[in-house]
Amino acid sequence: MSEAYRYQHEYGDLTRLPLFTEPTEPTTLGSPPAPAPLGNTATDAPSTSLVVDWSAVAELRARASEQLSQAVASDRSRLDKDAQQELGRSIVLDLVESAMAEDIDKGRAAWSPERQRTTAQAVFDSLFRLGRLQPLVDNDDIENIVIVGHDNVLLELIDGTLVNGPAVADSDQELIDFLVFLASRSEVNARSFSEAQPRLHLRLDGGSRLAAAAWVTPRPSVVIRRHRLMQVTLEDLVAREMMTETVASFLRAAVRARRSIVVAGAQGAGKTTLVRALCAEIDAMEAIGTFETEYELHLHELGRHKIVHAWEARPGSGERGADGRQAGEFTLDEALVDSFRFNLSRQIVGEVRGKEIWAMIKAMESGTGSISTTHAADAVAAVRKLVTCAMEAGSHVTQGLATSKLAATVDVIVQLSMTTSTGAGGAQRTRRVAEVIALAPGEKEVGYATTHVFRANGSGVAQPEVLPDEYRALAQHGFDLAGYLAAQPYGVPS
């Protein structure tokens, strides 16, 4: 099913109104062309059968927005989001019909039904959805969208292939203006994006995550992460060759034994996907709390667990008060404190990038079986990174305190690797579990001890190495201890 046809199916009212007729076959209607893989001679995307006149779309969108604003202002109590969209469809259709009539009066060719649908859908997308980004976000083959300027777009497909994408605006300024509009319009958690606030982290209405920067970068930079693998299990990741059966067996048992786990890796290495797979091993009746700066895990929407309380931080806005906080700010630490009245079995803190690590540490100290993620080059470096994050909380946090807290609370660190290779077929990314280490309190000088339970071999695949005695008990939770020991290279130091 084409993206355009899916759009018409979802917003069927557009096709049922008199102006439109159902197409005899699926059309592309504003969806991006199939771009050429990187490394090929044809790096530009081929043209579509019908090119959208984006300047006309921008003009119609401005007129539609003005009419809709007037209608909403005159009847604010009655027009909820659905009613606004329904009214918006009607306004868009009227404007398209008027534009078509104007062209006929000027002696221009009449619009084809395909052009009418294409234009109407593009205006509707710009008004209520993601504009020129919407077809990319709707495309089930695309996992990540990377934008460095309006006309420099890279798409990462779900199989790891990298391809060039179409321009998402006619200028960098137009892209910035749309991001400002998008941030302020969000129905789920509106954010500020301006020269005073040049960075943007936003959960889009459809659940994707958008990160953007402008004014402090040469060109506006945007990354949209689509969460394609939602209902994912460890078995699924084994099938994708992200890990071996033995690694999956160990991690499954670690979750069931309520070991606290940190998943580390580079940006885009698949950390959130692995956390979802680990959470799939938690009993369906356990009460779970998730704590994130922007919703990414979406455990509360997957339906796998009966009770999921999901907290999302809020950055606040406006002037800072005497306490240094902006009005409306809500931190992960505050969410965690509130959560202690919710009878949770597990507290899962999402990505740790700075001082929010104390929410993770508190969660791991207060219960067992917590899971978090962080960015790091390797598993041992992840420990040092977490210590640094903890010390960002202030001068009162010494390295010794941070180290002792981490060594006492984190049990296992799983390191993911991501490699990019370029061949005749284009660029390809491969994600794997590269290392698994066990963390424990250690000698005073270092403060912690690490043991490589799995280490990457020459091909980058994590293989058994040294299993601490206390982890043999994981066999009671389904760990394939015999299989691990059979593959273990005895005598290799950790």
Using alpha carbons only, what angle is made at residue 353 by residues 352 and 358, rounded to the nearest 5 degrees? 55
Q: Are residues 119 and 154 in the same domain?
A: no
Alpha-carbon distance of 111 to 109, in angstroms, equals 6
For residue 350, being part of any structural domain is answered with yes
Q: Are residues 394 and 269 in the same domain?
A: yes
Q: What pLDDT is attached to residue 16?
A: 35
Rounded to two decimals, the pTM is: 0.68
For the chain, the distance separating the N- and C-terminal CA atoms, rounded to the nearest angstrom, is: 52
Q: What pLDDT is attached to residue 363?
A: 81
Question: Which tokens is 205 given?
Answer: 């209405």
Question: Which tokens is 30 given?
Answer: 């504003």
Instruction: Indicate which CATH number applies to the domain containing 217.
Output: 3.30.450.370
Instruction: Indicate which CATH number applies to the domain containing 353.
Output: 3.40.50.300
* Residue 143 exposure: Cα atoms within 13 Å on the Cβ side: 17
CB-count exposure of residue 374 (10 Å: 0-12, 13-18, 19+): buried
Count of domains for the chain: 3
pLDDT digits (tens, 9 = 90+) for 319-358: 676 766 777 788 888 888 899 889 999 999 888 887 778 8
For residue 39, being part of any structural domain is answered with no
For residue 390, being part of any structural domain is answered with yes
Q: Are residues 100 and 209 in the same domain?
A: no
Q: What pLDDT is attached to residue 492?
A: 46
Q: Are residues 4 and 61 in the same domain?
A: yes
Q: Are residues 199 and 287 in the same domain?
A: no
For residue 396, being part of any structural domain is answered with yes
pLDDT at 146 over 70: yes
Containing domain of residue 77, as a range? 1-32+45-128
For residue 493, being part of any structural domain is answered with no
For residue 362, being part of any structural domain is answered with yes
For residue 330, being part of any structural domain is answered with yes
Alpha-carbon distance of 35 to 166, in angstroms, equals 8
C-beta separation of 344 from 300 below 8 A: no
Q: What pLDDT is attached to residue 229?
A: 66
Please report which confidence band the pLDDT of residue 50 belongs to, taking 50, 70 and 90 as the band edges.
low
Please report which confidence band the pLDDT of residue 424 belongs to, taking 50, 70 and 90 as the band edges.
low
Q: What pLDDT is attached to residue 47?
A: 36
Q: What pLDDT is attached to residue 382?
A: 92
For residue 494, being part of any structural domain is answered with no
Q: Are residues 194 and 277 in the same domain?
A: no
Q: Which of 66-75, 102-111, 176-185, 447-456 has the lowest mean pLDDT?
A: 66-75
Could you say which of 87, 110, 128 is where a domain stops?
128
pLDDT at 14 over 50: no
Q: Are residues 87 and 195 in the same domain?
A: no
Q: Are residues 5 and 94 in the same domain?
A: yes
Q: Are residues 193 and 239 in the same domain?
A: no
**Arithmetic mean of pLDDT over the chain:** 81
209-213 and 371-375 beta bridge pairing? unpaired
Could you say which of 128, 155, 189 is where a domain stops?
128
Q: Which residue has the higher pLDDT, 205 or 372?
A: 372
Q: Are residues 94 and 108 in the same domain?
A: yes
Could you say which of 128, 161, 196 is where a domain stops?
128
Helices assigned H by DSSP within 230-306: 234-239, 245-256, 271-279, 299-302
Q: Are residues 330 and 457 in the same domain?
A: yes
pLDDT at 80 over 70: yes
Q: Are residues 85 and 212 in the same domain?
A: no
